[in-house]
Amino acid sequence: MAVRHYTLDFNLSTPVDSASVVPGLLSVFHEQELTETVHDTNGHGYLATFVGKNGRLVILRVHSHGLVTIDLQCHEGDNFAQLDNLLNALEKKLKVLLSGNITRIKRLPALVRGAKVDRYWPTADGRLVEYDIDEVVYEEDSPYQNIKILHSRQYGNILVLDGDVNLAESDLAYTQAITGNGRENYAGKEVLILGGGDGGILAELVKQKPKMITMVIDGCKMHMRRTCGNTLDNLRGDCYQILIQDCVPLLKKYVQEGRTFDYVINDLTAIPISTAPEEDSTWEFLRLILDLSIRVLHPEGKYFTQGNSVNLKEALSLYEEQLGRLSCPVDFCKEVVCVPSYLEQWVFYTAWKK
């Protein structure tokens, strides 16, 4: 059974003595038949827990630096009206007890922990986002990664790979950005797509009638229809082929054969958050894919890829350093795009041979 976690915070202009606050709250806790236990904080303010027969737990903390916090935990099946009344009573009482000393009151919606459907996912820069997810549409452990398709009332189906939000059906801006934002003419061109298992890139590019698109994926057809249409229903079409395999051996094969593409679109992974490439194997993989991709790029071709959150300046800077260390010298440019389901600004890169 899931647990709901409510919080109520009072920021104060000056610290208060717990003796001036706690006695006035006890009547509220006693009305709810909550049993009090006071804990030793070694001089760091006041801490007490209040436990109810129905499993409710309240943590009251009067911090020595001018902050009063209340945490309330309960089971999902608890009486939410009673819980709301309890929080309202505590807030009302504290407003009276702390009158004239309050700089801010913050009461947040409940955090639901252990629910069957996980609604919480971090942004790339470490902020917590609660999505309006109401269903797990699909989940599978492939040979390469864990694949989830979650349904959001606002964003449609969302593709989540290894715990990272990759793309939602609402995110046409992402697909447009990683294909050049309408500035490129793909008609009659040879295109290589690495990743892109949501099918969005393929669906957009086939409209322009390229000569041939080769797409290498660990796919997820059927569940992202608003993104991919019917392009993933068949592994071959008039102007595309889908290969379900590891892209590294294939790229090495293309290098040996001397095969080149007018466009290489790398949608495998974002730039790693870690800024220690010598210790992070993801950076090693990224460098390998980057170098092989540029080697199979036509001399007049372009390489497109995503970067990461605009706030991860160190990681982005480190990636740009890697672009300067390839076996084949390149120039590059970047642009920042708002991707709806990411709830953050995202950087995209374009590179070409010098």
In the annotation, is 267 catalytic?
A: yes
Residues 319, 271 contacting (CB under 8 angstroms)? yes
Residues 247, 289 contacting (CB under 8 angstroms)? yes
156-161/164-168 β-pairing: antiparallel
DSSP 306-351: EEEETT-HHHHHHHHHHHTTSSS-EEEEEEEEEEGGGTEEEEEEEE
Catalytic residue among 262, 267, 280, 291: 267
CB atoms within 10 A of CB 177: 22
Determine the Cα–Cα distance for residues 99 and 102; give it in Å rounded to an integer: 7
Determine the Cα–Cα distance for residues 354 and 207; give it in Å rounded to an integer: 30
Question: Where does 93-189 show beta strands of DSSP type E?
Answer: 102-113, 120-122, 128-130, 133-141, 146-152, 156-161, 164-168
Residues 307, 319 contacting (CB under 8 angstroms)? yes
Instruction: Please choose, from the candidates 55, 7, 62, 51, the residue with its C-alpha nearest in 3D space to the C-alpha of residue 29.
Output: 51
Residues 64, 45 contacting (CB under 8 angstroms)? yes
Q: Which residues are catalytic?
A: 267
